[in-house]
A and B are shown apart, each in its own frame.
Chain A
Amino acid sequence: MTAPIAPPLCPDCGTPLPPESPQALCPACLLRQALASRTLVADSGDPPPLPPPTPEEMADKFPQFEITSCLGRGGMGVVYKARQKSLNRWVAIKILRQDRVGEEKFAERFAREAQTLARLNHPNIVTVFDYGETAGLFYIVMEFVDGVNLRDLLRDGKLAPKQALAIVPPICEALQYAHDKGIVHRDIKPENLLLDRDGRIKIADFGIAALVGAGGEAAGTPPYMAPEQAGTAAEIDHRADIYALGVVLYEMLTGERPTKDVVAPSRKVQLDVRIDEMVLKALDKTPELRYQTAGEFRRVVETLAGSAAEPPAATPPPVPPPLVAAQAAAANPDAAIKAAAIAMMIVSGLSSVVLIFGSLIAGGMILFVRDRVVSVGSLPRWASMIPVSNHGTMILSHAALMSLMVLWIVVVLLGQVVPFLAGVQMSRLRHYRFAIAGAVVMIVLGLTGGVLQTPGAPGFAGTWALVELGVGIWALVVVLRPGTKALFAATARPVSPREQLAVTAADPADARQWVAAPAIGLMVASGLNLLLAGGLVLALVMLTLLRAGPFPASPPSGGMVPAAGLLSLPLVALVFVGLPALLTFIGAWRMRRLKGYGLAVTAAILAIITPPGLLVGLAFGIWALMVLARPDVQAAFQREQSRATGRGCLLAGFALLGVLVLAILVIIGLRLLLPHHRTASFSPATPQVHPQNSPTPLSGQVIERSLALNTDGTSDLLDPRSGEVTPAPTPAQWTIPGLFIHRDAALVETMLTGANGALAQESRADQWDHLSNTQALATLRASSSSQGMTIGAVGHGDLPQTFLFKTLTGEIGILQVLRFSDNPRSVTFRYKWVEDAAGQPASKPAEAIR
């Protein structure tokens, strides 16, 4: 027995196992269990000595069913969980106890009873589907109720009076229904009162007591049997059920069964004395003195419960017809769900990985090889998302850029984690609503991703966004198909009795209080986001107006057209911040009224992942998710909204989709139309701009000049043709034709900008002496200058940096930035003409002049 390096934890209490633990079991838990079971064993008696036939043993006898497990055994027989193959639905098969079966006329009586029971069609009664005899076994096929029984609940002790009183009315209603048909249950007890996952209460084993107990013989469970049941069966009527229900109620309230001389419940627990009166009346030894009908009992219970709060919804919506589920499930739906779930996991997982590595690589490039990447335009496309990109004049410091990038990674990862986890849960057919939320988030991610890419030329990233979108929609469609919910419900994790009770006794008023605060928080967060998005849009529009035109430094390969690029930023703000904020606001608004559970979950998630309101949204989003996870709150949502959940989500999702598609179309339109439009109106160049334009070949001589550099790093403006220098233009005045050099000290970047008509391309330094037909030259030759357009080139690496430029009138020259000096601040460069407007080479250079 050697001490391991990291001691494993006890799975039960979570503390580290001491190295000397016997048999590698936690010693404290060993004793705790021994202590716990010692108190339990006292009244539970011996275990069933003989295990009931295993599902495998039963399988041969029921070929039409797939028997999966044994649900338990009771006085009446053994119950199995099974799937009815033909209808693909879960059922419970009860095999009646063998000892009565041999009796005379049993088969006849059994058939008669079963037919009677099959006529009971009530939401609070377990429906009988079929009955029969096979291989000497009498069986009844019943509705499978996924949940717990009241006995499980009572094992943890008594219930709160409000909860206890909430359970009784539906039982009374069902009893009244059966009594009206002349059917007495005769064995009402906690074991037969089932609570399903939606909080519905269902009475099981109707009339089976009478069936199994031979005619005339007392049948039932002693503590719940009315005194007259001990006598002859002939005297038993529906009032025996009322007595038994009284015992159950007494047990729920006090945690104990009534003794022979019934002690008023209020003497055991703190209770309204009127409840005493009601319970004691139900428990009266004389049937005539009890409530005479279950309906009467129910009214009294409801009045008493109503004095505390509204009774829970009288009858939940009728049982979802199993047939609907069966039809929908016909085409092997779990495979489709699993496929969609796995697709979601793969896509979001890959996205996360790509995003992390992409961001890290990009970040590293900026930090360590920054002079190779002076233009942020060379970052991966997704980085154009960061509102600093592409536009030289808006470049932020590295620290700001890095922190933005970190924020970006966090936000995107948070966004990707949701669909990933939802996919995991969905593949296990768990957490239906979370799956919906995951699909919606995936759609939103796909859409935002799609907008952020350049839609005109979807590269890998654009395609990936489409994949995300597709998978999200696929998953949503699969999940929202009718019947899927039932599948999820069938495999859901076992609900603890307490949770089940919370669902059954859920009170909308309480739930409203629970959700009020987080909902308001979400609304505040989304309001903040909306404000910020609005502000951002406004700021960007202002910026566009102020700096109309001169946004230089688009990547040499010719990236976004500035106007469209600028327009995409407000769009990004709208899509990434504004729309989620709007969705969050709507979700939170509806959440306050307990409507739209799926939308509420989505709203909470969106609030968490939407950046500007991150801090507020994070806190309230998490709070809202925690509140929404409460089973009673979920139940209250369901009560308030009988329609299928997720419909709100779907509508919102489609609305979002519509808006985004529109937005994408607008962008594509802008990008396609704008450049053509400009070229058309301003080209060919008007000679009026340069009246001195001469057809003679240009001289190839080298001209070296120095220009003053202004505090903002922009040089004076030089007209290369006339040699005129104009004082440095402010950005708003960049309308005079000519070239100027811009130096951005923060990025050690040199930029040659041709204002109002000149085009520039970066070239290699060795091109100064031997200009060859480079790509840059070819691009420049093919491009057309037009008035009003300002495009520049960014120089890389050490000085000298060499540029090719083309004037509005079509001459091409080569310019080399030689040095910058600080006192006085100036830039020195030389340039010479390469070819004239007609493409003829400039004449041989003479000596360089100053």
Chain B
Amino acid sequence: MTHPASHPPFFATTRWTLVCDAAQGGDTRAVAALGDLFATYWQPLYRYARRLGKSREDAEDLVQGFFTHLIEQCALRDTDRNKGRFRAFLLASFNHWIINSWKHASRQKRGGGIAPLSFDWHSAETGLKLEVADERSPDRLFDREWALTLLEKVLGELEAACRAEGGAAQFDQLKPCLTADSSRIPYAELAAGLGLSEGAARVAVHRLRKRYRAFLTAEIARTLASPAAVEEEMRALFAVLAE
């Protein structure tokens, strides 16, 4: 799965609450930014809908319609915005949306002046183990997939950034260090593999880890109302993944 890493992250204005407010006001750049956010995180929603028993077509319609709805409505609904988490907000709004769509039993008009996002629906089906009885609730699964999506995006950006610097091979060799305890990193081996000195390998690993943290923090911050809660959100995501 390739990732659209071409979107330049503009950290200052991508905080989702601000983006939503701005999009509500009709700012086209903000609409694009919201689209970008949504493009990143629609998959967990789609899979959530599938897990609730929706057919492919219904799930596609729900997600596509929800996006339109989001742009129109997000600033109005859930004033406390679930303590500022885009993740929780998105799921809560989506649940509302599903119920409403059900009530009206009518398919939402696609678009609404906004070009539909082109989604890779097929890839969203991959590994969707609908038949497997999973004791975890769809909510927890949504959170888990959210976390995976987020990491996917962060690592995609990280890889793109590394490739841009010409260190594609280096990224491939060094990326296992992102999960390893510092004491367990075989610097000498890495250095030999990369044709660097051990000292240089250490620095490269350190840089990569630092960069990864920066990207991760930025991405998480994007989905929060307040950057102060990054640590807390990170713990929450870790808890979900470590289950």
Contact = CB atoms under 8 A, between A and B. Distances in A.
Interface in B212-243: 212-213, 216-217, 231, 234-235, 237-238, 241-242
A1 interface: yes
Nearest to A48: B203
A33 B209 contact: yes
B180 A28 contact: no
B126 interface: yes
B199 A1 contact: no
A25 B155 contact: yes
Interface in B174-213: 175-176, 178-181, 183-184, 188, 196-200, 202-203, 206-207, 209-210, 212-213
Contacts of B1: 1
B151 interface: yes
Interface of A: 1-3, 10-12, 18-23, 25-38, 41, 47-49, 51-52, 54-57, 69-70, 496
Interface in B123-141: 123, 126-127
A27 B152 CA distance: 9
Nearest to B152: A22
Please indicate which of the listed interface residues A2, A18, A34, A36 has the most CB atoms of chain B within 10 Å of its own CB.
A34
A599 to B, nearest CB: 34
Contacts, number: 112
A731 B94 CA distance: 96
B147 interface: yes
Contacts of B213: 34, 37-38, 41
Contacts of B154: 22
Contact of A34 (B184, B197, B212): B212
Given A20-B152, A31-B237, A35-B235, 10 more contacts: A18-B148, A21-B148, A30-B212, A31-B151, A33-B180, A47-B207, A51-B203, A52-B199, A54-B199, A69-B188
B236 to A, nearest CB: 10
Contact of B175 (A19, A25, A34, A56): A25
Given A29-B179, A31-B147, A34-B212, A23 B155 contact: yes
Contacts of B183: 496
Contact of B127 (A20, A23, A28, A70): A20
19 contacts: A1-B127, A2-B126, A3-B127, A11-B176, A11-B180, A22-B155, A27-B147, A30-B155, A33-B178, A33-B181, A33-B209, A35-B235, A36-B181, A38-B231, A41-B213, A51-B197, A56-B197, A57-B197, A69-B188
A149 to B, nearest CB: 14
A41 B216 CA distance: 15
A27 B151 contact: yes
A27 B241 contact: yes
Interface string B143-176: 0010110011011100100000000000000011
Given A29-B179, A496-B183, A70 B199 contact: yes
Contacts of B155: 22-23, 25, 30
Contacts of B151: 22, 27, 30-31
Kindly list the 9 A-B residue pairs having the minimum CB-CB distance in the complex, ordered from nearest: A54-B197, A29-B179, A22-B152, A31-B238, A28-B241, A51-B199, A47-B206, A70-B199, A22-B151
Contact of B179 (A18, A25, A51, A69): A25
Nearest to A44: B206
A51 B155 CA distance: 26
B234 A30 contact: no
B209 A37 contact: yes
Nearest to A58: B197
Contacts of A22: 148, 151-152, 154-156
Contacts of B126: 1-2, 20
A41 B210 CA distance: 9
A35 B147 CA distance: 14
A35 B188 CA distance: 25
A36 B203 CA distance: 18
A327 to B, nearest CB: 29
A32 B238 contact: yes
A21 B234 CA distance: 17
Interface string B73-97: 0000000000000000000000000
B241 to A, nearest CB: 4
A69 B183 CA distance: 17
B82 to A, nearest CB: 21
A161 B126 CA distance: 56
Contacts of A29: 179-180
Nearest to B43: A20
A69 to B, nearest CB: 5
Contacts of A1: 1, 123, 126-127
